[in-house]
Structure 1
Amino acid sequence: MEPLLPNSDYGKTFGTVLVIGGTGGLGTAITEAFVKGGCKVFVTCRKVTPKLSELDVQVLEGVDMRDPDGPKNLVSKLGGEVFDTVMVIAGYFTTECLGNMSRDEQLKMFEICAIGPIRYVDGLYSGGSLKSGSRVGFITSEGGSMGLRTEREGGGNYGHHGSKAAQNMMCLMLSYDLKPHGVPVVMIHPGFMKTEMTADKYADKYEEFGAVFPHEAAPFIVDCVARLELETTGRFVSAMGSKGLGLGYYALKDPENMKPGCDLPW
């Protein structure tokens, strides 16, 4: 299984890129893919990491998804830059179960995963950093799909599933608002990632569900953005198809027909 878009075409396809949330494993991998493909890349982070500092990018430090003034401050830092491609990757995940929930952690997931991404893209649009023909890709999760939840998987992780379902819905609404302005939107499940975010909780399920490293998923993710058109805006897709889908795999009746870039149930 190979992505369809050659790395050498990235510069022409994606142009000037803004990656929101480039410090995590997936964020850095996607940033690196755009840089190697010849794109001019801006990347936001809360704090610069050694890996990020090695890349040929313009880093915008101190950008926090929970900051009420974050979108306005980011636009100010950009100095009028207009982007062909925006990738919103920032996320947060923690586990919980019946009888052991944290209101603060639930709120944090909703702020970072659902509310923050929409507010930042709204800020970019309102601030003139998006134009007709720009593309916006949101990293979300199959965990936000009600259609992929099963009794076999069981309950729990209320904040995670709820925040990702909320993100999917909010991004869908955003796609309707941005379509008249020529800006298509896609929500992307990147695959079941082998990252620090999942290692403590789900490393024992990596083999069973075909977990992948961020650099393996990155080309498939950018493929989904490359195929964005106004006519198909608002899709919720799986970058790698059924491969590495995660616990949602339990709900699939015909996984062989789920190819990279396929639509996921809401």
Structure 2
Amino acid sequence: MSQSVLVLGATRGLGASLLQLYASKPSTTVFGTTRSSTPPEIPSQPNIAWLTGIDVAKQDAGQEIVLQLPSSTRVSTAIISAGYFGFETFDEPDWEKEVKMYTTSAIGPVFIVHHLVKAGILGERSKVILVSSESGSITLRHEKEGGGNFGHHASKAALNMVGKLLSLDLKDRGIAVGLVHPGFMRTEMTRSVGFDQYWDDGGAVTPDQAAESLASFIEEFDISKTGQYWAPRGPRDIGTAEDVLGKNLPTPLQLPW
């Protein structure tokens, strides 16, 4: 059965791994977005199409996606994995970083999903997957990890609310909306904020590993779980999971808000 998948933020990290994973599946067309005005220099594949000049943090991103998609395109799954992490502490909060994190994580997705639905690109049985993080769970925040990184944590909590609200708006249309913590990953993003020092102890995985588990979860995800918040890889890389939720937790794990 043929399907079309849209990956927003497909040039690096999890997004790039998802692009390649879906492109390896028979009868699957993958649309990937890049902020650049030209497609990335990667080996071309006939079932990958690039949408260029797409910045999730810009108001016109959804309109640009609609304009660049071939007419009559119907997307089975749209995954918004684009993200930005600006490191902060209480002693050095950063206004510009916080604005960028909120805009990218929690504002941009509203407008993108709006335009995709209104254009008929997302419809009955389509899935929208919003890549969040366990860091957006207020319940899981624990004194052992301390404070700081206000924009990162709070923008993901805001994204969780956005996903919940979208799920309510789109349920009658048959569109399922999921929020996911894909895993603690060994990416340039986590390295750039110094989190590479925690990779080994924190059970960090490669983007390819995270993409595999996320894609398997998406395959089983449907309207019965719309609006829910999940960790497809379970509690293994969530440092506060056992302290807050107890032991012998399942995989995948539904996360608390």
TM-score after normalising by structure 2? 0.93
Cα distance in 2, alignment partners of residues 234 and 255 from structure 1:
25
Task: Name 2:168's counterpart in structure 1.
Answer: 176
C-alpha deviation, 1:18, in angstroms: 0.8
The 2-side partners of 1:205 and 1:15 are apart by 38
Alignment-mate amino acid for residue 167 of structure 1: L
For residue 11 of structure 2, what is the amino acid of its counterpart? Answer: T
Counterpart pick for 2:205 among 198, 204, 212: 212
* Structure 1 CA distance for aligned equivalents of residues 145 and 186 of structure 2: 20
Following superposition, the deviation at residue 250 of structure 1 comes to 6.1
- Please name the residue that 2:189 is paired with: 197
Residue aligning to 1:132: 124
Report the Cα offset of residue 255 of structure 1: 4.3
- Give SS of 2:23's match: helix
Displacement of 1:128: 1.2
Hey, what does 1:92 align to over in structure 2?
84
Name the counterpart of 1:164: 156
SS at match of 1:168: helix
Is the aligned partner of 1:49 residue 2:40? yes
C-alpha contact 2:102 2:151 (8 A) present in aligned 1: yes
CA distance in 2, matches of 1:95, 1:170: 23
Secondary structure at the residue paired with 1:185? strand
For 2:243 and 2:128, how far apart are their aligned partners in 1? 28
TM-score between both structures, scaled by the size of structure 1: 0.90
Pick closer, same or farther for the CA change 1:221–1:255 going to 2, 3 Å: farther
Q: Distance in 1 between matches of 2:122 and 2:79?
A: 12
Residue 179 of structure 1 aligns to a residue in which SS? helix
Q: Matched residue pairs, number?
A: 251
Correspondence list, 1:35-74, <5 A: 35-38=23-26, 39-47=28-36, 48-51=39-42, 54-56=44-46, 57-74=48-65
* Cα distance in 2 between the residues matched to 1:62 and 1:112: 15
CA distance in 1, matches of 2:58, 2:210: 29
Contact 1:210–1:243 (Cα < 8 Å) also in 2: yes
1:99, distance to aligned residue in structure 2 (A): 2.0
| 1:36 counterpart letter in structure 2 | S
1:253, CA displacement in angstroms? 4.4
**Structure 1 stretches lacking a partner, 5+ long:** 1-11
Q: After superposition, where does 1:95-106 map in structure 2 within 5 Å?
A: 95-106=87-98
Rounded to whole Å, the distance in 2 between the matches of 1:170 and 1:188 is: 13
8 Å Cα contact 2:128/2:175 also seen in 1:
yes
Structure 2 residue runs of 5 or longer lacking an equivalent are none
Contact 2:31 2:49 in 1 (8 A): yes
CA distance in 1 between partners of 2:173 and 2:52 (Å): 29
Q: Tell me whether 41-50 or 173-182 shows the greater mean CA deviation.
A: 41-50
2:140 alignment partner AA = L
The alpha carbon displacement at 1:252 in A equals 4.2
CA distance in structure 2 between the partners assigned to 1:213 and 1:165 by the alignment: 24
Conserved? CA contact 2:59–2:111, under 8 Å: no
1:76 aligns with 2:64: no
- 1:15 alignment counterpart: 3
Contact persistence 1:136–1:225 (CA under 8 A)? no
Using the alignment, how far apart are the partners of 1:70 and 1:90 within structure 2?
Answer: 12
Deviation string, structure 1 residues 36-86 (Cα, Å, up to 9, x no partner): 1121111111123333x5344000010001222221121111133111111
| Equivalent in the alignment of 1:8 | none
Check 1:240–1:94 CA distance in 2 against 1; reply closer, same or farther (3 A cut).
same
Distance 1:129 1:237 in 2: 25
